[in-house]
Structure 1
Amino acid sequence: MEQLHEIASIIALTMGVAWASGINLYATILVLGLLGATGGMVLPENLMILTEPMVIGAAGLMYAVEFFADKVPGVDTGWDGLHTFIRIPAGALLAAGAVGEVHPPLALAAAIVGGGLAAATHVTKAGTRVLINTSPEPLSNWGASLSEDLVVVAGLWVALNHPLLFIGLLILFILLMIWLLPRIWTIIKKIFGSLGRLFRSAEKPDRPSPAPTPKEIDIPPDLG
């Protein structure tokens, strides 16, 4: 039973850091670094670097930048687009480091699965933000951003303290993503298609109306 709990703890931490990285990488690093530095949790050897003050400071600085960038309509979508190249590989690295000192094949498998999970959560977040940005008011962006931050912190806490519960919730989340992503993609295509047609019609120059052609005048035979 104890061995089962240990395996569940490793899986929950591995998938938990990948899942959270796809939503907010800097909050994930900050939470893990602070917990490891203060003795709130024992990090695997490969993740002990997160407890270094320089790493914690950098994560805190970038989290502060993202905190404000993530709440401005339009800016949040650009920020998500840029972080496609940051969150996914970082999630894979954190997942590989979370399995601890193991043989390379297991670490590589954790990186592959973790990278895929980080990609899925990142795409779900970015796609949802595109839909939210169709609303003219900014309050929905603030609500979504704050909710994502709370979900990351709460999710990591559950993964560390209740691994079996986290694994069950993660399975439900993956099923929800499988159902949600195709629908988000369909709506996004319609949005960008409408924007494309709007820009094309705005850029198309107005063609001058053709000059009227003179009509032929029928001359009656008696006047010819």
Structure 2
Amino acid sequence: MGLVEILGLAGSISLLSGWRLYLCAFATGLAMRSGWIALPDHLDALAVLANPWVLGISFVGLVAEFFADKVAWLDSAWDAVHSVVRPLGGALLTLAIVDAQDPVWQVLAFLLGGGGTLLSHGAKASARAVVNASPEPVSNVVVSTGEDVATVGLLALALANPVLALVVAGLVFLFAIVLLICARRALRALLRLRDRVAPDPSV
């Protein structure tokens, strides 16, 4: 696996971890333990994900996140708690994939992996805050389910084809940027609307 493929895989997994960290950890570990995928020797550091204890903990987190993410405002509280957990987890996954011997590259991999995860996490959390402003619960479930399906599909694609992993990373990165911009504009519009309909306290 060349440097470009390694960076693509690390980037795609770190970015997808901002949406579903536990799903990324569990799916990768399960695929390795079941023999669905055979990672190159360079990625031996990821073998820890196939450990039964790690699989069990990541599965519990996956189930909890699956249901918490479907409930309006509970999903935002979950995202707030994971504002530290996801970037840290994404940074560690990136560090395991890059597996650099040079301390400088180790620090760079850790920072860039955490930064990528934080970016996609911020985009997700901002978008869900906008969705939560909707009075009906259906949109929240639809968006959350879409995130589940997209994460599984893109993660499978990245693991199966390291070359396409770079494309996945680029697409998720661009989508996160666009989502952040749109969410920011939507939140501003909602705040202006709230100010217009709010009663005048002087009356």
TM bracket, shorter-chain basis: 0.7 to 0.9
Consecutive aligned runs of 4 or more in structure 1 exceeding 6 Å deviation: 196-199
Change (3 A) 1:17 1:175: closer
Match of 1:83 in 2: 82
Q: Within 5 A, what are the aligned runs for 1:101-116?
A: 102-116=101-115
Query: Normalising by the residue count of structure 2, what TM-score does the alignment of the two structures yield?
Result: 0.86
Q: Is the 8 A contact 1:46 1:101 kept in 2?
A: no
Alignment match, 1:16: 12
Q: Is the 8 A contact 2:98 2:109 kept in 1?
A: yes
1:123 partnered with 2:122: yes
**Counterpart residue number, 1:186:** 185
The offset of 1:174, in angstroms, is 2.3
Which structure 1 residue ranges, 5 or more long, are not aligned?
208-224
Deviation string, structure 1 residues 90-143 (Cα, Å, up to 9, x no partner):
111110111135322222211111111101110111111111112222121111
* Larger fraction in helix: 2
> Which structure is richer in relative contact order (CA contacts within 8 A, separation 6 or more)?
2
Cα-to-partner distance string for 1:153-203 (whole Å, 9 max, x where unaligned): 11111112222223124323323433442331232244357668989x69x
Between the aligned residues of both structures, percent identity stands at: 31
Does the 8 A contact of 2:15 with 2:172 survive in 1? no
The aligned amino acid for 1:134 is A
Partner residue, 2:166: 167
The structure-2 alpha-carbon separation of the partners of 1:196 and 1:103, relative to structure 1 and needing over 3 Å to count, comes to farther
Q: Give the alignment's TM-score, normalised by structure 1.
A: 0.79
Provide the rounded CA distance (Å) in 2 between the counterparts of 1:196 and 1:46.
Answer: 53
For structure 2, the 5+ residue unaligned runs are: none
Question: Does 1:30 pair with 2:29?
Answer: no
Q: Does 1:67 align with 2:63?
A: no
| Gap change, CA 1:176 and 1:34, over 3 Å in 2 | closer
**Contact in 2 for aligned 1:12/1:160 (Cα 8 Å):** no
Aligned residue runs from structure 1 range 199-218, under 5 A: none
